[in-house]
């Protein structure tokens, strides 16, 4: 049997990257998926991919960092599928790569709202639905930047550290309702996003791009980056009954690199 049969999963940031892969994997594992993202065209493509595979999904065009939009995402899932019992908080923008003295206040709040406020709002509105369903699983897609830091990205590091702290607090609060709350902390994940990170880090440090890329790979004992599929597989597990007694954890996916 598929691991997520009879689950209704909301996945934010579902239009590309990890979120898009995760949406498809969740559907293949039997979940009905609410794909939420700001880009209408891209999130529609994600839903079309799921439906072409025989899965069930709807698209919600929304900015999860806005209170009205976050509520609309959860409400759309309930209207379409009768309930929401699974939430993956994946939405978030990395913000600029700058020395802290050049990091504008607007950049700070934009990055925190994009990564952290969005996770808080979607969790806030999903919890009543999960309590009504008698079960729930929340997975926050954090980052190793929230555990060990990353130079020149003070906003992103702070937002991801906040997601991890929120995970711990919500796990303690929601366990009595049969709701698990966990975080995944990816290291470098192959794709367009890490390409942009590598380029920005190389530029701000004044080093060659390929040299910068090698630092991300060489520090991992397995000598490779993770994939979006690796993150999706762990998220599926954490949202399944196999992980029913795992809560309040932040699990690194780093190709073997120590978490701290």
| Alpha-carbon gap, residue 180 to 157, rounded angstroms | 24
Q: Which residues face 88 on adjacent strands?
A: 11, 139
Give me the half-sphere count of Cα atoms (radius 13 Å) on the Cβ side of residue 247: 20
| Active-site entry in 110, 120, 156, 168 | 156
Strand order in the sheet with 57-61: 57-61, 32-37, 8-12, 86-89, 136-141, 179-186, 249-253
| Alpha-carbon gap, residue 195 to 245, rounded angstroms | 36
156 catalytic? Reply is yes
| Alpha-carbon gap, residue 153 to 114, rounded angstroms | 14
Q: Which residues are catalytic?
A: 156
């Amino acid at each position: 049997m598929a691991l997520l049969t009879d689950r209704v999963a909301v996945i934010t940031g579902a239009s590309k990257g990890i979120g898009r892969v995760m949406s498809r994997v969740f559907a293949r594992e039997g979940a009905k998926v609410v794909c939420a993202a700001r880009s209408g065209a891209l999130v529609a493509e994600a839903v079309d991919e799921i439906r072409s595979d025989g899965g069930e999904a709807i698209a919600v065009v929304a900015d999860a960092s806005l209170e009205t939009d976050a509520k609309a995402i959860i409400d759309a899932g309930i209207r379409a599928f009768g309930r929401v019992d699974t939430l993956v908080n994946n939405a978030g923008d990395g913000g600029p790569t700058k020395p802290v003295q050049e990091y504008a206040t607007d950049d700070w709040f934009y990055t925190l709202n994009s990564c952290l406020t969005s996770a808080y709002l979607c969790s806030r509105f999903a919890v009543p639905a999960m309590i009504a369903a008698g079960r729930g699983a929340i997975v926050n897609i954090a980052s190793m930047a929230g555990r060990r830091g990353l130079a020149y990205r003070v906003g992103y590091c702070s937002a991801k550290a906040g997601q991890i702290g929120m995970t711990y607090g919500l796990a303690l609060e929601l366990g009595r309702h049969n709701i698990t709350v966990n975080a995944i902390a990816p290291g470098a994940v192959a794709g367009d996003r890490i390409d942009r990170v590598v380029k920005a880090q190389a530029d701000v440090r004044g080093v060659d791009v390929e040299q910068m890329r090698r630092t991300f790979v060489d520090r991992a004992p397995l000598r490779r980056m993770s994939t979006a599929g690796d993150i999706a597989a762990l998220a599926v597990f954490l949202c399944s009954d196999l992980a029913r007694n795992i809560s309040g954890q932040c699990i690194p996916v780093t190709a073997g690199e120590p978490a701290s």
